[in-house]
């Protein structure tokens, strides 16, 4: 089954909806280039859709989208949209018939899944020649022109609140073993302006924080207050640029 899900709580879902940067249009543009898509697909499946940010971008290249997430609070943050059906389900077992989906997308979630099970499920639902795309985007820890805060994040924050266990973002061999032939990869990168409050909110939405809160090591209020005090004392001016990087990997289901 999936790795423990750190995004099941209501507060986490609310922070995720408020604080996560919307890089998804850039990722979709990359997949269009890599897959050489010249027309919208009929049906797309967005696995681990979260608050629906990825779903909005995927809908721009699909007539219909089925968006799936295991977290009810995350789905409750998603805005209803024509042509989009939000469903609470595990990515390893989706309520979709076989051989009907033209595109399956996993945005910043593949590392939480039982990957062998999900890849088998992707291969089941995809039409022959259909595409599978997994992509990710993450804060590198670098704040431009804010060396003191960058150093504090690397040494103090991540030392006290390390990332929980997770799997790889993509496994080409496993994908190919499931019948999903590798097409290509593209690197993403962008800067996001952040204030002390914005960076605090973003960190509160990360699994580093949510896992510590879930384990009872710190309360939500205590961690938020500590982050605001520590970050606020180290950030110059009203905002800084936070460096984000990511990757897009594309595959296609092999023809029979």
56 to each of 51, 60, 202, how far by Cα in Å? Answer: 10, 7, 20
Look up the pTM and report it: 0.93
CA nearest 131: which of 29, 45, 256?
45
Q: Model confidence over 194-251: pLDDT tens digits? A: 999 999 999 999 999 999 998 999 999 999 999 999 999 999 778 899 999 999 999 9
pLDDT at 165: 82
Q: Which is more confidently placed, 12 or 144?
A: 144
pLDDT at 1 over 60: no
pLDDT at 9: 79
pLDDT at 4 over 70: no
Mean pLDDT in residue range 80-97: 97
The whole-chain average pLDDT of the chain stands at 94
Mean pLDDT in residue range 17-35: 96
pLDDT at 256: 78
pLDDT at 121 over 80: yes
Question: Looking at the DSSP assignment, which residues form a beta bridge with residue 246?
Answer: 137, 188
pLDDT at 185: 98
The residue extents of the domains of the chain are 10-253
Buried b (16+ CB within 10 A) or exposed e, 216-247: eeeebeebbeebbebbeebbeeebbebebebb
Other CB atoms closer than 10 Å to residue 39's CB: what's the count? 7
Mean pLDDT in residue range 5-30: 89
**Superfamily covering domain 10-253:** Vaccinia Virus protein VP39 (3.40.50.150)
Query: For residues 153 and 107, what is the distance between their CA atoms, to the nearest angstrom?
Result: 25
pLDDT at 2: 46
Going by the DSSP 8-state scheme, the letter that residue 14 receives in this structure is: H
Q: Model confidence over 34-68: pLDDT tens digits? A: 999 999 999 999 999 999 999 999 999 999 999 99
């Amino acid at each position: 089954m999936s790795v423990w899900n750190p995004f099941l709580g209501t507060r986490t879902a609310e922070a995720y909806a408020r604080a996560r940067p919307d890089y998804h249009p850039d990722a979709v543009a990359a997949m269009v280039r890599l897959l050489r898509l010249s027309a919208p697909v009929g049906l797309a499946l967005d696995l681990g859709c979260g608050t629906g940010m990825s779903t909005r971008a995927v809908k721009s290249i699909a007539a219909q989208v089925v968006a799936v997430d295991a977290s009810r609070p995350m789905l409750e943050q998603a805005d209803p949209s024509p042509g989009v059906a939000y469903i609470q389900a595990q990515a390893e077992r989706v309520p979709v018939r076989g051989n009907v989906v033209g595109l399956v997308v996993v945005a910043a979630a593949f590392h939480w899944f039982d990957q062998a099970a999900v890849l088998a499920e992707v291969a089941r639902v995809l039409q022959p020649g259909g595409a599978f795309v997994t992509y990710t985007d993450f804060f590198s820890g670098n704040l431009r022109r804010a060396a003191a805060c960058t150093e504090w994040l690397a040494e103090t924050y991540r030392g006290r609140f390390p990332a929980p266990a997770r799997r790889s973002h993509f496994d080409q061999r496993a994908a190919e073993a499931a019948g999903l032939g590798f097409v290509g990869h593209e690197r993403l990168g962008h800067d996001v302006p952040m204030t002390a409050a914005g960076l605090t909110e973003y960190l509160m939405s990360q699994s580093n924080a949510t896992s510590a809160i879930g384990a009872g090591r710190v309360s939500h209020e205590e961690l938020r207050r500590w982050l605001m005090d520590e970050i606020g004392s180290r950030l110059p001016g009203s905002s800084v640029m936070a460096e984000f990087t990511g990757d897009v990997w594309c595959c296609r289901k092999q023809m029979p």
